[in-house]
Structures are given as C-alpha cells and as structure tokens.
Amino acid sequence: MNKMTVKTYLTVLSICLCCLMLKQANAQLILNDLKWEYGVKTSLNFNTIGASYGTYNGAGMWGAGLFIQTRIFPQVDLSIEPGFLNTGMRQKQSDTRYRTRHIELPLIVKVDPWDDDAVFFFGGIRPTYLLGYSSEIFTNGAYKKIDLAENKNKQGQFDLGIMFGSTIRLSPVVSIDFSYTYSLTNYTNSSEIAGMPSLIEATLKINAVDLKEALDSKNEAIKTQINNFKQGALLVMLPTISKKETLKYKSEEDLFYALNELKIRNTRVVNEFNRYYNFNKLYFFYDTTAYRIASGNTKGIFLNNQLLPDSSINIASLKNTLVASFCNDISNYSQRFGFGLFVYDINMTQLGKPYNVPSQMFSLFAEGDPINYFKTRKVNYTNLPFDRVIKKFNGRLFRYSYTE
C-alpha cells in the first residue's frame, strides 16, 4: 500500500467517523436544549516539514478565528472553529520561502476525562480552502516574490488534516490548546511544494460567554457592595500642613499664604460635598487623624462645617465605610499620579472602579498657579471644579446601586 493509498484511506475514514458523530449528536440536539458557547481564538503554528526533509526549515506563522462549541454528551464537547490560517517554510539551499493562506473549518470533539472542566483531550478533522500562496527568493539583500515551477499549489484547492491535542483551561474565560495536525494532503517532497503542511500549534482562546458571565458576576458583586455602602458613610479627609512641612517655607508670609489657601479650599470641599453628595451619610476629618480611622477609634476626630473638631459628631460603626479625599494619592501603591478625588477603604488602600476613575483627576496646574504649587508643595487651588467631580461621583454610585 503506497503513501497515496494510505492518505486516501485515512481521509475516507475521518469523514465517516465525523458523519457518525454528527448523526449521534443530532439525536442529542433534538432531546436537549444545549448551551452554546462561542469566542475568539489566535494561534501560532510551526510547519513540521523539516522533520521529513532536512532541506527545509519550518517557519512560525499565525492564525485567527472563532469557535462555537456545545456539550453533546456527558464529558464530551463538539466544537466548530472557522478561521484564517497562515503557514510557511524555507528551502535552506536556495533560501526560498513558501507561504500559504487558508480558510479553515475544523470540526473537533473534546473529551473531559476527569469531568473537572480543566483539561480536555480532543481530535477531529481540519478541512481548509487555499486562498493564496507565494514563493519568495532572496536576491539583492531582500526577499522578492517570484513564480516557481516547483510550487504546485493552486488557489481554491481543498486540503484535509487530522487534528489532535489537549486543552488547558487557564481560567473560566481563557484556555490554551496544544495540537498537532497531520495533513492528509501534504504532497511536498524534496523537489516540489504541494498541499497543506502538517503543523504543531498553540492556540489561545477567549470564551465570550464565560467572559460575559464573569463581568456580570463582577458587576453584581460591585452593585451589592455599593448598596451595602449606601447604608454606611463616606468619611471625607481634609489635608493639613504638618510641622515638618512648615520648615520648607522660607518666610512667615509664605506659610500664612499656604495655610490660608488650604483653609479656603477645605471649606469649599466641605460645602460642596454637603450640597452635591447625598448617597449616604457624610463625615469630615483631618488627615492628621487618619491613623485613628484605621484603628477604629474615631471619637472626637470629626469636624463641623466650620472645620473645628466636634465631639458631638459620632459614627456608630465603620462597617460599609469608605474614605475620600481631594489629594495627591497617598495609598501604599499608586494606580494614578497627580491630584484628584481618591477613594480608599478604611485601611487607606486605594479602590478600583467605579470608585476611582480618570474623570476624577485634575491636571497638575489645572486652573491654578504653578509658581504657588511649588512654593506651597501642595495643590491648594481654590478655583478647581470640585463640584463637578462630586456630582459625577455621587451620580455614578446611584447608577451602580440601581436594581430592577
């Protein structure tokens, strides 16, 4: 039995097996409403021609496409994966490159042997349609396309391969396939180039259905968190100038200017929070007592509207409580640089979205005086649009807390 006869036999056998699987799957489709999953894939492949003919080197190429899959039997998935596939190799002696471009439609059966949805083994067929091909010869320091008689590929030809390998799910959303495709129509030899090559391949897949479910789950968790926060309070931290920082000022006049600017700004922040923030209760305190927030000892630290400590202002519990401040980021790790409204938990760890977003940031000298910025070491501008940021922050919390 020659090589051609073996390939023909394997081709017919593969088609028969796939028809049988589809026939059996059809009964399952009638009996059950199957859950279809889909997503995108991208791959890197390597032509294995060099293992058969030492005059060739395989070339690493790429592919991309989609996948649609469903569970047809317990622990068995059926996957259809239309895509675009590039392959390539190089003839070492003449330094000639060969490239092919295919449309592919793999039909794959995956088995989950341990029923853990983590590791799969798969096999199937990989029909391809040749969109185009090229030959390139190295001349005058560059590769130049040229028609070569030994390239026997023809545009529009159909090829077929048998594909098998394993899948590892890195997360509910991301998985990676490692596969080998044995081409049934690879007729390349030492004297001519023809047919689809055999390939080893790594494919990264992103499951759009699982991604949506993960995002929905995350949004639901954020919504629950914000609704709990609605029952708590926002502690607004106001900046001060420490004794160590006062030593940086060259004159009493500069120090007085900085203290006065900071008092004006803090008064504005308090007034505008009281006017535009109504998501939950508000309390104000100075940054010099921030350590007491983390320890849970808040007695006597809260301020009245005149920015004076008022022992009559108390908070029953720090549960569902956050801290906000117009400042330069003071967390242990900074996700953003510059001045703006930052939101933290009670341990002063900066939170992510939707609490901190780029629209809460001001540019360094926005509507301010850069000379005074470097003189005072703090952004003490009194004309920044604090009201706009507070209104957006308040509205965003209400939007996330909304439930149908």
Q: What are the extents of the domains in the chain?
A: 3-213, 231-401
Q: Decide if pLDDT at 2 tops 70.
A: no
CATH architecture of 3-213: Beta Barrel (2.40)
List pLDDT tens digits, range 96-130.
Answer: 999 999 999 999 999 999 998 899 999 999 999 99
Cβ–Cβ < 8 Å for 340, 362: yes
Average pLDDT over residues 351-374: 66
Interval 379-389 mean pLDDT: 74
Which one is predicted more confidently, 373 or 15?
Answer: 15
Q: Which residue has the higher pLDDT, 255 or 228?
A: 228
Confidence of residue 374 (pLDDT cuts 50, 70, 90): very low
63 pLDDT above the threshold of 90: yes
pLDDT of residue 184: 95
Six-digit token pair at 93? 């002696």
User: Is a pLDDT exceeding 60 seen at residue 337?
Assistant: no
Token representation of residue 131: 């969109």
CA torsion sign for 110, 161, 65, 56 is: positive
Q: How far apart are CA 192 and CA 172, in angstroms?
A: 45
Output phi, psi for 58, to 5 deg: -70, 155
Give the DSSP letter of residue 350: B
Distance (Å, rounded) from C-alpha 118 to C-alpha 37? Answer: 16
Q: Fill in the DSSP letter of residue 78.
A: E
Burial letters for 169-202: b for 16+ Cβ neighbours within 10 Å, e otherwise? beeebebebebebebbbbbbeeeebbbbbbbbbe
C-beta neighbour count of 310 within 10 angstroms: 15
Mean pLDDT of the chain, nearest integer: 84
Q: What is 80-129 written as a DSSP string?
A: E--EEEEEEEEETTTTEEEEEEEEE--EEEEE-TTSSSSEEEEEEEEEEE
Q: What is the pLDDT of residue 373?
A: 46
Which stretches of 321-385 are DSSP H helices? 370-376
pTM reported for the whole predicted model: 0.59
Give the separation between CA 101 and CA 155, rounded to whole angstroms. Answer: 10
pLDDT at 30 over 50: no
Instruction: Provide mean pLDDT across the span 233-252.
Output: 84
- 316 or 199, greater pLDDT: 199
pLDDT-derived band at 252, boundaries 50, 70, 90? confident
Question: What is the pLDDT confidence band of residue 22, given thresholds at 50, 70 and 90?
Answer: low
The span from the CA of 315 to the CA of 311, in Å, is 11
pLDDT for res 12: 53
The mean pLDDT of 63-92, rounded to a whole number, is 93
